[in-house]
Structure 1
Amino acid sequence: MKFIRNTFKFVFLVANLVVGIGFLICAYSPMLSPVQHPVLACAGLFIPIFIVLNICFIVFWAFVKWRVMIVPVSFFLLGWNSLMSYSPINSSAESTGGETLEVLTYNVMQMLDIKAEDRKSDKSIVDYIKESGADIVCLQEYPYNNSELKNSLTKVYPYMRACRFNSSNAVACFSKYPVRFIEELKIKSNFNGSAVFSVKYKDNNIPVIVNHLESNKLGAHDKEVYTDMLKSPDEKKVKSGSKYLLKKLADAMAIRGPQADVISGYIEKEYSPYMIVCGDFNDTPVSYVHDKISEKLQDAYIEAGNGPGITYNSSFLYFRIDHIMVGDAYKVLECRVDDSIDASDHYPLRCRLELKK
């Protein structure tokens, strides 16, 4: 009986070591260039799976042999930065009485206003933006040719500039304060892009970089493959489906890597403590793209958010791929994902910033 018990514990210990090593591979994957290591660089996508499994091992060892809890806890400590990037824990930030700005970033999916039976809100995207109260609104997948939409939004946001990447797709910056278009960053993409705007806020010029980086290009067929794997997970289907989807993810990540390098280079060259960088990065907070772009900046959600903060929500895919990053002139008072509106495949991300005195 003792032999069986000890064997049982040994098997679970080995399993815990495998899970822990998997977690560390995910946690340190942002250090890898997605151009040179496209598949391994995708590992960060899977970190929530290893976090949940490692937590299960902590609970298991707490009841079976509490001293062994040091194993899963040690893995978390070794990958602490990535753990807190994925699911930060923050208390409420105290305001020092300085001036505040609220920033909203939202991939509006061409303002199509998805209609579905399970929607929580009937509020349209336009109504949501107009009632948001944000000072600066940054939009991705903005329908450039929709003049009616522009006229509606400029009733609340009188200053607006947009940058078009193809016949209809654009990023836009709406503001309560004067805004100028500065330039489009030369990133390699047929559909997406990055644009620099400047918002004049009192005596400060605020550089705002709005990004919509390369999509993972998961079409209806790809999402069907993924959902089919979840609903009927037989070995052959999972193996072939995983290989197919991983290649698509790796190919897209290899494109986003150089895009992030261009954006990071611009930030390095033109850095301002008032800088705001935001948008749909199509990459999670545990990725090369996120870490490269945020080298000189604060990630607002990591500084003031709590939990995973899912912004992309479609076809059983749940990730935080929308980000707001800011310079040293700001204290991040609050950052949250607003899931009160589900008219796009993204939720808006908003943050409240205080200018340091």
Structure 2
Amino acid sequence: MRIATYNIWNNDILFEERIEEICKAIKEVNADIICLQEVRNEEFRNITEVIANGANYPFLVFRCYPDCPDEGLAILSKYPFSHTAAIWEINTEISNYCAIRAKINYEGILIGITNVHLNWRSEEIRKEQLIAVSNWIAMDKDSAEYEIICGDFNDVPQSSIHDFLKDCGWQDVVELNSKKDASNYATFDLLNNYYLKEDIRVKERLRFDWIMINTFNKCEQLLFEDMDIFGNNPSVFKIMPSDHYGLYIDIK
């Protein structure tokens, strides 16, 4: 089973051209389930449906932010959803409007998938958001055999929010893979992604997009067969699809 996450960048720069390239990147990575962040919400066109149709995904869920309805989160799947929800459908602070969730039955195994996009301005807000998301998942986790949380965390693995998730039993799939250096999985590339050339931050390669797994003390362990980034090769695309690269993991 292949799980992927991809921030597709809600920005007007070459937007129509980038939609084509985003579809190409998603189609090529061919994930069973892919979580998308910064999905544009338009009045007369469903961008999630455009991408799902362009990349051959029969099942999709999209939720726009109640406080920012021009954008939202989406999950595309090759398998039907048994449940979908957004964190703002429960009683929570507006600042915690950062996650949607789905359950998918994959070959008899029920998997919970939570897609997040955390605040970019403040580590303190990101921590508060993750506490809310963790509590939300905990209310619903018993029925799923495995839980996956992924998305754009707007932070690096050396951060307090990464430590918080690990303390809660979440495992970072990149850290579980000893085959490659973790720097190979940088998804926010301030050195090479030309959309970021005007960014004033230090020119370095950062891993802002994570995939983390939690079995909540179940005995079964997941086997990881492969992982990589995608949407990062300028020679493959007419233009780069996004200011982020995607990340995928193959689970056995």
- TM-score, normalising length: structure 2: 0.75
Question: Which one of 165, 172, 190 corresponds to residue 293 of structure 1?
Answer: 165
Residues 293 and 185 (structure 1), Cα distance of their counterparts in 2 relative to 1, 3 Å cut: farther
Matched, 1:320 2:220: no
Write the mapping of 1:255-266 to structure 2, written as runs, cut at 5 A: 255-266=125-136
* 1:111 to partner: Cα distance: 7.0
Aligned equivalent of 2:59, options 159, 164, 176? 159
Q: Deviations over 1:112-165 (max 9, x none)?
A: 5759xxxxx997111211232111011000113342651452361100001211
Amino acid at match of 1:306: D
Name structure 1 gaps, 5 residues minimum: 1-100, 116-120, 217-251
Check whether the contact 1:161–1:180 (CA below 8 A) recurs between aligned residues: no
* Counterpart secondary structure, 2:10: helix
SS in 2 for 1:161: strand
Q: Secondary structure at the match of 1:110?
A: coil
Distance 1:289 1:114, change over 3 A: farther
2:249 and 2:12 map into 1 onto residues whose CA distance is 25
Q: How does 1:75-224 map to 2 (within 5 A)?
A: 101-110=1-10, 124-145=21-42, 146-147=45-46, 150-154=49-53, 156-165=56-65, 166-186=68-88, 188-189=93-94, 193-216=98-121
More strand by share: 2
In structure 1, distance between residues paired with 2:47 and 2:131: 36
CA distance in 1 between counterparts of 2:102 and 2:127 reads 23
Count of residue pairs the alignment pairs up: 214
1:231-273 deviation line (CA, Å, top 9, x unaligned): xxxxxxxxxxxxxxxxxxxxx1111111111122234443344
Gaps of 5+ in 2: 190-195, 216-220, 235-239
Between stretches 342-351 and 189-198, larger displacement belongs to 189-198
1:346 equivalent in alignment to 2:244: yes
Greater fraction of residues in helix: 1
* Alpha-carbon distance between aligned partners in 2 of 1:113 and 1:103, rounded to the nearest angstrom: 28
1:110 Cα deviation after fit: 2.2
Q: Deviations over 1:197-255 (max 9, x none)?
A: 11222322211100000023xxxxxxxxxxxxxxxxxxxxxxxxxxxxxxxxxxx1111
CA-CA distance at 1:298 after TM superposition: 1.8
Query: In structure 2, the residue corresponding to 1:174 is in which secondary structure?
Result: strand
Kept in 2, the 8 Å contact 1:106–1:348? The answer is yes
Partner AA of 1:347 in structure 2: Y
Contact 1:113 1:125 in 2 (8 A): no
> 1:335: Cα distance to partner?
2.1
Q: TM (normalized to structure 1)?
A: 0.54
SS in 2 for 1:124: helix
1:311 and 2:187 aligned: yes
CA distance in 1 between counterparts of 2:131 and 2:31 reads: 29
- Aligned equivalents of 1:286, 1:148: Cα separation in 2: 34
Quick one: percent identity of the two aligned structures?
A: 25
